[in-house]
Amino acid sequence: MRVLVTGGCGFIGSHLVETLKSLGYEVLVVDNLHTGTLDNIRGMDVHFLRRDCGALTAEEVSHIDGIVHLGIYSSSPMYRKDPSLVGKAVTDFLNMLALARTLDVRMVWASTSSIYNGNPLPWREDMPILVRDYYSEARYFMERLADLHYDWYKTETVGLRFFSVYGPREEAKGQFANLVSQFLWAMREGNPPIIYGDGTQKRDFTHVHDIVKGILRAFDSHVEHDVFNLGTGVSCSLNEVVDLING
């Protein structure tokens, strides 16, 4: 089976690609290398196209059997710095939906738990959506576009609302990396971690390997169209994270 992974040179994408290869899949990686690096997939024996998702054509990927779309700008500060990324993310997503429809393949894609901001913990799929920034607006808009594509064309898509993902290979993301990684990097250098606020704010920190397992389950499932939370269900404060790193 041949799977197209957008953002496959990135943090989450490269872990997914590695797992897919270990399971015997043929993988086509599409990445513009904005926050990804070829080092993340070095030695993995994959096909690679350096391309924006919005420029990808059906002719280039006509041989695929499924899509995992992770090649989406993935940090709220990115959108705050450049609000036009909302349009970029949505336009790219529309092209990926069109490819899935044209090629008659299923697509699993990355939404975000940030759309729940303002709701009490724990966050559940039946909670109201409280968009608070450009980033979550883009992802929520994409969820609604996927709904429309399924209603009109029966394009099979499963959106996954990732909870705060951490793990190896985030270095290329720099300042946009998960707080767990940023804390760890600072403390390895003997520097105190930078915490905004009193550190009591909580996140559902989810290891990238668990995220990959969730993506694969969604990809292999019989669910035609839906959106699911993907996290541990357990929240941890920033202060607790620092204490854990300190051992």
Residue numbers annotated as active site: 135
- Angstrom CA distances, 175 to 100, 134, 170, 187, 201, stand at 33, 18, 10, 15, 19
For residue 59, give the DSSP letter.
T
Burial state string for 79-103 with b = 16 or more CB within 10 A and e = fewer than 16: beeeeebbebbbebbebbbbbbbeb
d(CA 170, CA 74): 12
Which residues neighbour 168 within 8 Å (Cβ) at sequence distance 6 or greater? 15, 208
